[in-house]
């Protein structure tokens, strides 16, 4: 029997294998750091101090993690249906338009907690709408979802630049961005949450969208594992032929799944647009859609795993900035290399150690 088909306990599949991949990625990163003349252990210490050493660092880490939770959930929902949504970047970008329009329309008249649900719905609808055409092309015409979604990233970016430069820009200003939202259109910071642990948030833009992301984790878990639609999504992902034979509507399931996936990606815009900058800007997504792919793979497309993986990448982002400041030899490009190694082992090489683990498990685990 092939090792790929041998069942393993969940603690191995969802715990041990990701941990081993992560350890190997950091060991290789340590070799790279040592090769350029720096102490790998000191680099790890500085990275962790920058990300988790004070309230402000934790705030920035969780701010980045919030982005990755949304995009990771987006990729995961589609992945459960056997669809590889590469378009979370563009869907989040367009979702920002929906969130911004809600804030621009309401911030003069109502407090933030009234604006927030409209912004959430607007971001989700716009993100879902950007996923609709690729979903329809996959379901009705057989166009591969990877090709169509990644192409829509470029189309969405061009459309957003046009809107910000020619339609939404503040008259008389050069910067391609909307006006700053009033307090009624901004998400408040979660400084009280950091204060509970004795820290100060400082300048970190850690905000209410983090709580929304956690709610979405619970919602996705309920959807995938506790509903009829979730069962149909998982069945389609396991075998589309068997799903159709069993009476599961292929076209309907693919389109609904991609709409949910796009909606989750669109909601990522709440964090930078309403929480951090309080305005819609060019390229605010900053690659979070692509990082979400690695987060989903490392988290095994499970909401809990996605949260943990998102925090890990948040540590790498925030700690990497601090590390490059304290160790000038470790440039921002070096941090990208480390992130790339984590993505490599969490994604492309995620089952690198499975054959060896299967042999050890078969020999000793069942004894």
How far is residue 271's CA from residue 273's CA, in Å, rounded to a whole number?
6
Give the other-Cβ count within 10 Å of 360's Cβ: 12
Q: Where are the alpha helices (DSSP H) in 40-144?
A: 40-52, 55-80, 88-106, 112-136
Residue 346: inside a domain? no
> Does a structural domain hold residue 275?
yes
Please check whether residue 142 lies inside any domain of the structure: yes
Q: Is residue 280 part of a domain?
A: yes
Q: Is residue 136 in some structural domain?
A: yes
65-74, 189-198, 243-252, 335-344: the lowest-pLDDT one: 335-344
In the block, which residue shows the tokens 């009476």? 247
Residue 4: band (very low, low, confident or very high) from pLDDT cuts 50, 70, 90 = low
Number of structural domains, the chain?
1
Compute CA distances 77 → 24, 282, 312, 335, whole Å.
28, 27, 20, 29
More confidently predicted of 350 and 1? 350
Q: Give me 22's structure tokens.
A: 């992560």
Q: pLDDT of 300-356, one tens digit each?
A: 899 999 999 999 999 999 998 888 888 888 887 888 888 788 778 766 666 778 888
CA–CA–CA angle 68, 31, 319 (5° rounding): 35
Nearest to 258 by CA among 88, 96, 98: 88
Residue 170 tokens read as 């503040």
Q: Is 342 part of a structural domain of the chain?
A: no
CATH of the domain at 68: 1.10.3470
Please say whether the dihedral angle defined by the alpha carbons of residues 356, 362, 363 and 365, taken in this order, is positive or negative: positive
Confidence label for 71 from pLDDT (cuts 50, 70 and 90): very high
* Residue pair 299/306 in contact by the 8 Å Cβ criterion: yes
| Domain annotation covers residue 296 | yes
**Does pLDDT of 270 surpass 60?**
yes
Q: Give the pLDDT of residue 3.
A: 64
8-29 confidence digits (pLDDT tens): 888 887 788 888 888 888 888 8
Whether residue 243 is predicted with pLDDT greater than 60 in this model: the reply is: yes
Which residue range(s) make up the domain with 184? 61-313
Examine residue 207 and state whether it is found in any structural domain, yes or no.
Answer: yes
């Amino acid at each position: 029997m092939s090792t790929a088909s041998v069942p393993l306990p969940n603690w191995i599949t969802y715990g041990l294998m990701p941990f081993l991949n992560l350890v190997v990625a950091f060991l290789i990163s340590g070799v790279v750091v040592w090769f350029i003349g720096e102490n790998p252990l000191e680099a790890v210490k500085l990275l962790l101090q920058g990300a988790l050493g004070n309230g402000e660092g934790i705030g920035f880490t969780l701010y980045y993690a919030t982005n990755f939770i949304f995009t990771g959930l987006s990729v995961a929902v589609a992945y459960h249906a056997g669809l590889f949504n590469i378009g979370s970047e563009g869907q989040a970008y367009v979702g920002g338009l929906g969130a911004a329009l809600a804030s621009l329309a309401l911030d003069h008249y109502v407090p933030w907690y009234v604006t927030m649900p409209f912004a959430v719905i607007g971001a989700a609808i716009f993100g879902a709408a950007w996923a609709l055409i690729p979903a329809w092309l996959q379901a009705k015409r057989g166009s591969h979802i990877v090709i169509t979604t990644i192409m829509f990233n470029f189309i969405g970016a061009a459309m957003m630049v046009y809107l910000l430069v020619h339609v939404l820009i503040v008259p008389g200003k050069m910067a391609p961005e909307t006006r700053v939202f009033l307090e009624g259109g901004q998400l408040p910071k979660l400084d009280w949450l950091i204060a509970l642990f004795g820290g100060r948030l400082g300048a970190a833009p850690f905000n209410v969208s983090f709580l929304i992301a956690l709610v979405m984790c619970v919602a996705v878990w309920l959807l995938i594992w506790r509903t009829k639609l979730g069962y149909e999504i998982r069945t389609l992902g396991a075998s589309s032929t068997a799903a159709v034979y069993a009476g599961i509507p292929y076209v309907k399931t693919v389109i609904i799944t991609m709409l949910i996936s796009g909606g989750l990606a669109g909601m990522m815009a709440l964090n930078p647009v309403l929480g951090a900058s309080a305005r819609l800007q060019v390229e605010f997504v900053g690659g979070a859609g692509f990082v979400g792919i690695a987060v989903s793979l490392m988290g095994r497309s499970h909401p809990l795993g996605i949260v943990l993986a998102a925090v890990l990448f948040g540590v790498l982002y925030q700690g990497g900035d601090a590390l490059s400041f304290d160790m000038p030899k470790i440039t921002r490009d070096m941090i990208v290399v480390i992130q790339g190694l984590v993505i490599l082992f969490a994604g492309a090489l995620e089952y690198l150690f499975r054959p060896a683990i299967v042999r050890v498990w078969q020999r000793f685990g069942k004894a």
